[in-house]
Each structure stands twice: as C-alpha cells, then as structure tokens.
Amino acid sequence: MGGKIAQMTEDLATPILTDMGLTLVDTEYLKEGKQWFLRVYIDSPEGVDLDTCTAVSERLSEALDKHDPIKEPYFLEVSSPGAERPLKSLDDFKANIGQNVRIGTYEKIDGEKTFEGLLEAVHDDYITVSVKNKTQERQIDIPVGKISKANLAVIF
C-alpha cells in the first residue's frame, strides 16, 4: 500500500514542484507506531528553506484533499532531504558527479557490498566511484541494477 500511495503522491507533487522550480527527491508513506506519515523530500540547486516547505505542503495538501488517495488519518511532512540525501535515479547520480557518495549493493563486488568515495562517472548501466583504502585509491564500476541504496555522504 505504501508504494502505491507514494507513487500517487509523486504524481500529484511533480507539477506543483515543477511550477515552483523544485525537484522531488523522494516520497515515503509509512506507519510509525500507530501514526501514518506521508513524507515528501524536495530540493533545488539553492536548497530549500522552511517557507518553501510550507508553501509546498499547503499546495500538496490541497491536491491530496481533492483527489483523496489516502483513507486513514496521516501526517504530511515536506522537508529537505538533508546533506546525505538519497540518490534515486541516473539523473540524481549525474547531477552529483564529483560528490562523495555511499553505495550499498545487493551482492558483493570485489568482495564488498558497501562503497564510499567520490562519484567519478555515470553511464547508462553503471557508475564509477573512486574509493580510498588507507593510502590506496581505486576505481570501482558498480552496475546500476546491483545498487540497493545510494546517497550523498559527508566524509570527514
């Protein structure tokens, strides 16, 4: 059910966000305790502030009320994805070439399932990440179909 509602929310949110010059990063519909939460993460090249989140929340809330895809009571939360935002599409990866990323894979590649490093390149079926291990640096090609989770990473 969560995936279907998240998709319907994305369909309603996309034209609103496009009109406002914003990008949809992710949508989640999940239950925490006894409460349902519909979370919409937005971004723009300049970042987003509280006023922007409030404006999106108001417009999206009106669209959700009009189309009424959710029957149970829920809380709508609109926010920025934060510094370690998820990377969901090839466009997300392309927009973040040169940034630090953390990638998890469904199966091992070179004996590992987690890679942290600099996103070097994005191709149709794989991405290239430059990974440092102590004093050694190597480039890993990760097939897109094997990526289970990806996000920007703050590396100290």
With helix as H, strand as E and coil as C, how does 72-141 read? CCCEEEEECCCCCCECCCHHHHHHCCCCEEEEEEEEEECCEEEEEEEEEEECCCEEEEEEEECCEEEEEE
53 and 107 part of one domain: no
Task: State the DSSP H helix or E strand holding residue 34, giving kind and residue range, or none if neither.
Answer: none
pLDDT tens digits for 36-74? 999 999 988 888 899 999 999 999 999 999 988 788 899
Residue owning tokens 């510094």: 83
Contact in structure between 64 and 12 (CB atoms under 8 Å): yes
Residue 21 lies in a domain: yes
68 and 104 part of one domain: no
Q: Lay out the sheet containing 75-79: strands in order across.
A: 23-32, 35-43, 75-79
* Average pLDDT of every residue of the chain: 89
23 and 52 part of one domain: yes
Q: What is the pLDDT of residue 156?
A: 64
Mean pLDDT of all residues in 115-138: 90
Mean pLDDT of all residues in 119-138: 90
Structure tokens at 103: 């990638």
Domains contained in the chain, number: 2
Exposure string for 76-89, b = 16+ CB within 10 A, e = fewer: bebbbbeeebebbe
Residue 143: which CATH number?
2.30.30.180
Residue 39 lies in a domain: yes
Residue owning tokens 């998709």: 7
105 and 71 part of one domain: no
Strands 112-122 and 100-109: antiparallel
141 and 74 part of one domain: no
64 and 105 part of one domain: no
0.75 surpassed by pTM? no
72 and 14 part of one domain: yes
Q: Which residues pair with residue 26 across a beta bridge?
A: 41
Owning domain of residue 25? 2-79
Q: What is the pLDDT of residue 59?
A: 96
Domain boundary among 15, 44, 79: 79
Domain boundary among 47, 79, 111: 79
Distance CA 63, CA 65 (A): 5
Q: What is the pLDDT of residue 2?
A: 57
8 and 47 part of one domain: yes
Higher pLDDT, 71 or 3: 71
pLDDT band with cut points at 50, 70 and 90 for residue 22: very high
Residue 84 lies in a domain: no
Q: Mean pLDDT: which of 67-71, 95-99, 117-121 is highest?
A: 117-121
